[in-house]
Every structure is written in structure tokens, then in C-alpha cells.
Structure 1
């Protein structure tokens, strides 16, 4: 996929006669290592939203009279839009491709694999008032859709930083993984044979049974928080616990997204799965150096998404997974059946070392699926997903 990225907060330039919204954006891959180079210019829509006198959110298309276009030779697109003379100020803007066929708005746009040539994910930003400083973050929104629930689950909103760096942004693997899990858990599987992970579905949809799920390398939290929304929809109020972990520098953004999620959920703590964060360095985790939140539970499922790209950390990752397995087995009421759900968008051949290490440490693949990822005007890519169980307690040499 490609992502519309705001390079700076939207700014409003005010004069006596008009208010201009000034935007600077780029369109790149998830790692920001390639710009979108379309064969034909892509029209960009900017949609504002304000609240009317009743408090209802009202959309207004800001690009109706002036349509910005992204062309193949572009690296940055800057444009100004005149804001409408509404009695209420614009509170939020959405920037996305004008063509619905190109827009990744919901999980069913991503999975099952779309027929179109590729997808672009839009971006949202809150507009500051005259007294407020510009926001330091923008956010993505993805509707979690399924046929087994009445309409979409509340859209997942995830904050990320402005700019086109790889840190504190969502990546392809997380978006595709979440979309596949939404299909597994929220959709009649007879209608979607593409979701060929029945064992994972069985774990996530155990009627009346709570789950303890630990995520490693959570980033900004799109998979863990999205999974919490999905479980709330399909477990009918059965409390589950999701603990997201990453290095200390991920804490601020992840906690902000947990707070955003809690405010949007509108559910009591008794009915919404618990979501939390704790920092975890795999170089400590490989020796059983876990924080109090990890130590507190036996873990049914460990989720790992987009964590195998850095070969320098693969050994520590695998050893941490095995240490978590042993920790869960030793907890009162624990078992040796802790599973790993691993998803990766392969970026280089050296990532395969992770699978060799897992096999040597006694982990076996219970099921696997490969989800194609069409990319606009580029070679197709894919996201691989695996469910592992462990057959032995032996450990890799440190």
C-alpha cells in the first residue's frame, strides 16, 4: 500500500476576507523508502468536518472547487484551500484519494484481496482553534467490518507522527494482519474461504472464555488495540486482557492510542477487553527479565507483527518467545500450550533466519496463510502469517 503523510500540521492563514488552509503532504510506502509514481495523476480529496448546533458532525468537501493532484514526478505536494464561511469552525480534516476504489477505509478494502490495482490509506488531522497550538500528531482511521456483527465495529483510530520517517507510524503488516483477523472473527467463514487459519479463529473465538494475549513490538498499537475491538465484538462481553509491549520510546504514542481507544469505546470495564502497555527489551526478555505486568499472567497467545526485519534482534526475539512459553507453563494454572501468531511482510531474504531459529528452538508451524498485497504501479507484495506451537522445552544457545 501507499500512505498519504502530512509533512507538518495543517495551518490556517487568516485575512479579513478569507481563511486559507495550507497543507503539505507526500505519498510513500510504509517505510517511506519509495514515493508513489502513478501512471495517471491521482486526485486528492480533503474533507472537513464541523459540528452543527445540535452537536452532529457534518462533513464538507473542501476540494470541490480546486482538486489537488499527485503526479509521478512528485516528492511533495503543497496546496491551499479556502475554508467555507461556516458559523462553526472546521474541527477535523480527512485527506484521501478521491477515487473510492483506491481508498483503504475499512478492513474489507484490504482483505479479502481487492480486485483493484492497489490502495492508498488516507490521513486525518485535528484543526487547532485560535488559542491552541498545532497538534503534534495526526491519525489513521480504519473501519472494522464483518457480517457477524450489525454493521461496522467502531472505527479504529490510531495516532502517528507527522512526517515520513519509519518510527511511530503504522506499517503494511499491521494493517493487513488486523484486516485478516477482522475477517476471521467477525465474518461467516463459509463466505470468506481466503481466511484459511481455522486454528487461530478457534483460539480467538472460544465462546465464554477469556484470553490473555501478549504483543511484542507493538509500535503505535494498531494490532493490539484493533484486536481488542474485535474481541469485544465477538466474545459477547467476555473479558480478555491484551498487553502490548515494545521498547520504552514507544510508550508515549501507545498510551495515547490506548487513551483514545478507551474514550471512543464507550463501554464499561466489565464488557471491554482490558488493554495495557509495558516496556520490554528482548535482550532482557530472553533471560526471563520481564516486567510486573508480563509476570502477572500466563499467556495464551503471543502476537508478533512486523518484527523480523531487523536480523540483529532475531535471536533475542526467538529466545524471548521461548522464555514467555516457559514462564506461562510455570504459572499456577498455566500450560505448555502458549501459541505464537507471527505476521511479516518479507522485506529481505535474511528474515528467513527467524524461522530457522524458531524451528531449532522447538517451535513448529500449525498453520500458515499468505495474503497478497497489491501495490499501485509496483510489483505485488504479500504478508505471511503463521501460527506456531512449541513441542520441546530446549533453548537456543545464548
Structure 2
């Protein structure tokens, strides 16, 4: 996939007769390691929006800023600079996406088929006149839809402005949210023959509350997406999802939990964050929240790229498995922690993860590969593995 990015915050300039907004953008892969190089120019739509209040209700009104002369991203570009006139009414947010609907990832149903090149739109709040503060974050938006479920619910995830790979959305998270929507929201009973039956069974079981812990959550795409999707499913028991990462990830993860607003306010899913360093986890040292439950499922997305962290990661997984077994020993049912790993392979050295898992007694119970094509090159895949461990 490719992502439109603001290189710096949008800047509003006031003129004598009309104000304008200056934008500097780029289009790169999730790690910003290559720029989009399309065979044909990709026209872009820049859309502002303001809120209109009528009869006690608020409605977001879009305003196309590039309707007559859409800008285009061409092969060989590294940045695109725009200076666009603003409408008389101040706009509150701005969105940049491909003009072509087929090239745009707007919903989870766009992502999962994997049969078209996808570019994710970017959104940002506009700087306020006289405020003097430029926005430091942007956000991504993805409608949650599958089968006969209406696409009215939208997942919004905040990330940092710029091209740094830290505190950004990565491919595997987007693909996994799309897979979760397909599994949990499609009520057409069309799951026969689909991949990952064990994973599907865990997610769809209504026998008791589902407890899920995420390692290396980053900005929170997977954990928050799971909570939102399970809340839409309206299961009999409230699921508990705990996102964990290093302490420096906490601010962004909590900001994204807060961004969900009323979508999780009804108690349909319990979502929280707690710091967890794998160097502590490998010793069995867990935080209060991580130690409070036996975990049915541990999930991680794009966490195997740094081979230096793989030994403590594997030991942390085993420690969580042992903790869950001990905690559930005196309970009414035995909990055996399963592990789901989603990764877009980036280099061959990542294969050591599977050797380390095998050495620690983990086996692959099921696996699949989900297509992730590129608009300007050969398709890629996100590989998904379910691991189990006896004892």
C-alpha cells in the first residue's frame, strides 16, 4: 500500500481578498522507504470540510478545493507542493485522497480483496486563525464494513505528521483490521472454506468473555480496530482488549483510544493500554493489567522486523502462556493462550523468529497469506500465523 503524507502541517495564509492554504505532501510506502512511482499520473482531490448546525444536529459539509484543476502525483516525484484558495467560510479539516475511488482505501472491504492498488487518504485539522499553533498530528479513516453490515461506523487513527516510521500506521495493521471486519461483521454465514478457522472460532465464540492482549501495539490500529469491530458484533459477553508497548508509545495509543469517543462508551468492549517492555516480559514481570487475566489470544502486527528484539519477544509470549495457565488452573475452565502474528516480510533475517518459536515449544497451527498489491510494482503479502503451545 501507499500512504499520502503531510510533510509539514498545512499553513493558512491570509490575503487581501482571499485566504489560501499551503500544503507539502508526499506519497510513500508504510516505512517511507520508497515513493509512489505510477505508470500514469494519479490525480488527487483536496477536500476541506466545515460543520453546519441545523435543528440541534451537526453535519460535516465537504468543500472540494481542487475541483476544477486537480493536482497530480507523477513518477519521479518526491514531494508535491500546493497553494490552494480557501472558501469564504473557514474550513475545520482537510483531506487529501486519490480522485479515483478505485485507487482509494476508504473501507475495510477495499483492502481485503487485495486485487487493486490502494492508497490511503490523509486527514488533518486546519490551523485556526490567530491560534499560532500548527497541528502536529494527522489521522487515517477507514469505514468498518463487511457483508450486510452498514458502512456507517468509521475507525479513525491518529499518527504523527511527517515521514518518520515511528508512531505511524503500518500495512499489517490495516490488513488485519480488514480481516477482523470480514470475520466478525459478515453475517452471511460464508465462512466455510475461508482461512484461519481456529482464529475465527476464537473471535466468534460466545461461551465467555474474550481476553486479548496485544504486544507492540504502536499507534493502536489492531487493538482499537478489534475493540470497535467486536463492539459492532454485539457479542453476549464483553471482550477485554489490552494494548501494550514501550512507555513512549503510551501517549499516542491513549490518544487514539480517546479518539473513538462514544463508539466504545457503552461498555460493549473494554479497551485499555499498559506499558510492557519485552525485557521485563521475558522474566515474567507483567504490569497490573497484564497480570490480571488469563489471555485467550495474544496478537502482534509487524513486530518481527527487528531481529535484536526477537529473543525477548518469544520469551514474553511463553511467559504470557505460562501466566495464563497458572491463573486459570483454579478456575472453571483452562485457558490455553494462542498467538496470532501478522507480518509483511521485509528481509530474510526475520525467519529466525520461527526458529526461536519452535525452540520454545510453539508450533504453527494455521497460516495464510493476504494479498497486498502495489500500484507501481509487484504485489506483496501480509502473512498471518496462529501459534499454539502445549502445557
- TM-score band, normalised by shorter chain: over 0.9
Give yes or no for contact 1:217–1:305 (8 Å, CA) kept in 2. yes
1:180-212 CA distance string (max 9 Å, x none): 111111114654668411211111111252111
Give yes or no for contact 1:66–1:81 (8 Å, CA) kept in 2. no
> Could you say what secondary structure the match of 2:96 adopts?
strand
Q: 2: distance between equivalents of 1:293 and 1:266? A: 19
Q: Please, which runs of 5 or more residues in structure 1 have no aligned partner?
A: 393-398
Give yes or no for contact 1:112–1:194 (8 Å, CA) kept in 2. no
Match of 1:13 in 2: 13
> Could you say what secondary structure the match of 1:331 adopts?
helix
Match of 1:204 in 2: 203
Q: How many residues align?
A: 384
Give yes or no for contact 1:205–1:235 (8 Å, CA) kept in 2. no
1:12-61 CA distance string (max 9 Å, x none): 10112001011110000000000011111111101111112413111111
Relative distance call for 1:248 and 1:157 in structure 2 (3 A) is same
Match of 2:375 in 1: 376
Q: Does 1:107 align with 2:104?
A: no
Give yes or no for contact 2:294–2:324 (8 Å, CA) kept in 1. yes
Match of 2:99 in 1: 98
Give yes or no for contact 1:49–1:93 (8 Å, CA) kept in 2. yes
Give yes or no for contact 1:112–1:192 (8 Å, CA) kept in 2. no
Q: Does 1:268 align with 2:263?
A: no
Q: Does 1:279 align with 2:275?
A: yes
Give the C-alpha shift of residue 236 in structure 1: 3.4
Match of 1:124 in 2: 123
Give yes or no for contact 2:296–2:335 (8 Å, CA) kept in 1. no
Q: Which runs of structure 2 are paired with 1:142-221 in the superposition (5 Å)?
A: 142-149=142-149, 151-152=150-151, 154-188=153-187, 191=190, 195-207=194-206, 209-221=208-220
Q: 2: distance between equivalents of 1:109 and 1:148? A: 15
Relative distance call for 1:235 and 1:341 in structure 2 (3 A) is farther
Give yes or no for contact 1:153–1:230 (8 Å, CA) kept in 2. no
1:199-236 CA distance string (max 9 Å, x none): 11111111252111000000000100000011111133
Q: State the Cα RMSD in Å.
A: 1.6
Relative distance call for 1:384 and 1:194 in structure 2 (3 A) is farther
Give yes or no for contact 1:207–1:235 (8 Å, CA) kept in 2. no
Relative distance call for 1:286 and 1:83 in structure 2 (3 A) is same
Relative distance call for 1:390 and 1:182 in structure 2 (3 A) is same
Q: Does 1:71 align with 2:70?
A: no
Give yes or no for contact 2:206–2:236 (8 Å, CA) kept in 1. no
Q: Does 1:56 align with 2:52?
A: no
1:131-185 CA distance string (max 9 Å, x none): 4322210000011102253x02511000000101110000011111111111111
For normalisation by structure 2, the TM-score amounts to 0.95
Relative distance call for 1:253 and 1:195 in structure 2 (3 A) is farther
Give yes or no for contact 1:189–1:195 (8 Å, CA) kept in 2. no
Q: 2: distance between equivalents of 1:101 and 1:275? A: 33
Match of 1:82 in 2: 85
Q: 1: distance between equivalents of 2:254 and 2:230? A: 20
Q: 2: distance between equivalents of 1:308 and 1:266? A: 30
Q: Please, which runs of 5 or more residues in structure 2 have no aligned partner?
A: none
Q: Does 1:300 align with 2:296?
A: yes
Match of 1:391 in 2: 390
**Which range moved further: 340-349 or 62-71?**
62-71
Give the C-alpha shift of residue 66 in structure 1: 2.6
Give yes or no for contact 1:153–1:229 (8 Å, CA) kept in 2. no
Q: 1: distance between equivalents of 2:235 and 2:286? A: 31
> Could you say what secondary structure the match of 2:381 adopts?
strand
